């Protein structure tokens, strides 16, 4: 692979939500950035049905998107603020109730379509000076003195000072960098759909832990709820095969009919669940971002927020390195980002994993202990405030 001296500071591989946010954030800090993506993201249009993949954006994530100049457009398009989060355990009957008013906030967060956020970020790239290379297939890369050279299919090699790997949980580029991952397969799938319910969602994110897995009902802007139902693989396949009437009845039972009968549903989809954390978040002239670095269980709705926190940290660290007059991809600079984000990301990922394990308990003594713990947390206002503040970023 041959290439001239870097004309770019940073090449970002992966144009999904986190990769696009990273490219935009770095460009707004004055870096010369190229974003490489295999295909243009699916367009979002107000007249289209709502995307089945939704995210629960924390206030810290909304602030970052506002700094990037896209939050107002997202908020004006179609979002649903949630002001309360209510969690209950089917086995013990214990409950946790978080309310924005108790935290002195207008809302705890917003339920937003994944496609909407990704599309708004993608369309903000040109104005920020990001060079979009699409379609682009990065076949490999090689770190050299002072640069990293990317081998592109059907295109000339591209050279930059730093490669940001943001190509998802199954990242080929992470594998090429020799970075292993640790984690486990949950042998579960998240079944997703949008449902109409007998009673209004009340601007509340509802989550019930059942013996099969957690069932979440998340408020949508049009009054419906988005369900994220984590189930063992076999059970998920059976649920996906149900007709609409039987599926609605199953969702009603799983949610304890908290919002009454399920009146209607969209077609369903599902995706596999696993825990995955990279052993390191940086290597020679490359760093990991988002799902390439960490993939978590959706029960806490924090996956996108973790990725956006990666974006904020990387922009801060690289900006400091440049302002100091140093090489932005120097080992000490990348180690600073990797140390901070791997520590935070691993703690969060394993905390979510611990919650999943605890709620998988079925033995009677452990059920009683779980119920006691939940009731204690709900009764301790300072601890609830700490948990709420962490979720808010």
- The CATH number covering residue 241 comes to 3.30.9.10
Can you give the residue range of the structural domain that contains 316? Answer: 8-52+117-182+276-356
CA distance 90 to 371: 10
Same-domain pairing of 110 and 128: no
Q: Is 131 within the bounds of a domain?
A: yes
Q: How far is CA 345 from CA 65, 135, 306, 335, in A?
A: 20, 31, 7, 15
Whether 340 maps to a domain, the answer reads yes
Tokens 């076999």, located at residue: 234
Residues 294 and 331 reside in one and the same domain: yes
Q: pLDDT value at position 383?
A: 44
Shared domain for 107 and 241, answered yes or no, is: yes
Task: Give the contacts of 294 (CB within 8 A, at least 6 positions apart).
Answer: 276, 277, 278, 306, 345, 346, 348, 349
Same domain membership, residue 269 and residue 384: yes
> Is 3 contained in some domain?
no
Q: Do 134 and 174 fall within a single domain?
A: yes
For position 295, which CATH number holds?
A: 3.50.50.60
Same domain for 239 and 303, yes or no, is no
202 and 101 within one domain:
yes
Note whether 89 and 99 are same-domain residues: yes
Do 250 and 381 share a domain, yes or no?
yes
Per-residue pLDDT of the chain (393 residues; tens, 9 = 90+): 444 446 799 999 999 999 999 999 999 999 999 999 999 999 999 999 999 999 999 999 999 999 999 999 999 999 999 999 888 887 677 778 888 887 788 899 999 999 999 999 999 999 999 999 999 999 999 998 889 999 999 888 999 999 999 999 999 999 999 999 998 898 999 999 999 999 999 999 999 988 888 899 999 999 999 999 999 999 999 999 999 999 999 999 999 999 999 999 999 999 999 989 999 999 999 999 999 999 887 765 678 999 999 999 999 999 999 999 989 999 999 999 999 898 776 767 656 665 555 555 454 555 555 555 555 555 555 444 555 555 544
The answer to the question of residue 58 being in a domain is: no
* Residue 59, domain member (yes or no): no
The reported pLDDT for the residue numbered 372 is 56
Q: Which residues pair with 295 in a beta bridge?
A: 276
Task: Give the model's pLDDT for residue 122.
Answer: 97
Q: How many domains does the chain have?
A: 2
Whether residue 2 lies inside any domain: the answer is no
CA distance 240 to 260: 21
Residues 110 and 200 in one domain: yes
Residue 1 within a domain? no
What is the per-residue pLDDT for 298? Answer: 79
The verdict on 384 and 252 lying in the same domain is yes
Is 191 in a helix, a strand, or coil? Answer: strand
What pLDDT is recorded for position 356?
A: 54
In sequence order, what E strands does the chain have? 8-13, 33-36, 54-57, 79-82, 84-89, 95-99, 109-113, 131-133, 138-144, 147-152, 158-165, 181-197, 204-209, 214-219, 225-232, 262-265, 269-278, 282-283, 286-288, 294-295
Q: Please name the residues in contact with 89: beta carbons below 8 A apart, sequence gap of 6 or more.
A: 95, 208, 209, 359, 370, 371, 374
State the pLDDT at residue 155. 84
Same-domain status, 122 and 107: no
CA atoms within 13 A on the CB side of 219: 23
Contact 235, 207 (CB under 8 A): no
Which of 141, 131, 185 lies closest to 165 in space, CA to CA? 141
């Amino acid at each position: 692979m041959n290439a001239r001296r870097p004309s770019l500071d940073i090449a970002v591989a992966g144009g999904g939500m986190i990769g696009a946010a990273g490219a935009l954030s770095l460009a707004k800090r004055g870096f010369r950035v190229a974003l490489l993506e295999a295909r243009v993201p699916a367009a979002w249009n107000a007249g289209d049905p709502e995307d089945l993949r939704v995210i629960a954006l924390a206030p810290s994530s909304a602030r970052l998107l506002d700094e990037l100049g896209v939050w107002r457009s997202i908020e004006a398009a179609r979002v649903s603020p949630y002001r309360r989060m209510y969690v209950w355990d089917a086995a013990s009957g214990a409950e946790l109730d978080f309310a924005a008013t108790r935290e002195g906030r207008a809302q705890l967060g917003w339920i937003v379509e994944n496609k909407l956020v990704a599309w708004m970020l993608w369309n903000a790239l040109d104005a920020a000076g990001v060079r979009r290379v699409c379609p682009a297939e990065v076949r490999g890369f090689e770190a050299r003195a002072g640069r990293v050279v990317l081998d592109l299919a059907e295109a000339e090699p591209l050279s930059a000072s730093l490669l940001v790997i943001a190509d998802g949980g199954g990242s080929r580029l992470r594998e090429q960098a020799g970075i292993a991952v640790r984690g486990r397969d949950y042998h579960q799938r998240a079944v997703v759909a949008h449902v109409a319910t007998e009673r209004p969602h009340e601007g509340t994110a509802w989550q019930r832990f059942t013996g099969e897995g957690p069932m979440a009902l998340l408020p949508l802007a049009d009054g419906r709820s988005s369900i994220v139902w984590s189930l063992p693989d076999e059970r998920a396949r059976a649920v996906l095969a149900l007709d609409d009437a039987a599926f609605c009845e199953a969702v009603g039972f799983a949610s304890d009919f908290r919002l009454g009968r399920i009146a209607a549903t969209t077609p369903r989809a599902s995706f596999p669940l696993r825990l995955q954390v990279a052993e390191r978040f940086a290597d020679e002239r490359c760093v990991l971002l988002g799902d390439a670095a960490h993939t978590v269980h959706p029960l806490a709705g924090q996956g996108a927020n973790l990725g956006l926190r990666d974006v904020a940290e990387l922009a801060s660290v690289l900006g400091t390195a440049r302002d100091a007059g140093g090489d932005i991809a120097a080992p000490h600079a990348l180690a600073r980002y990797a140390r901070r984000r791997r520590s935070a990301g691993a703690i969060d990922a394993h905390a979510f994993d611990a919650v999943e394990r605890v709620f998988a308990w079925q033995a009677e003594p452990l059920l009683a202990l779980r119920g006691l713990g939940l009731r204690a947390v709900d009764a301790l206002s300072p601890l609830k405030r700490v948990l709420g503040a962490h979720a808010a970023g």
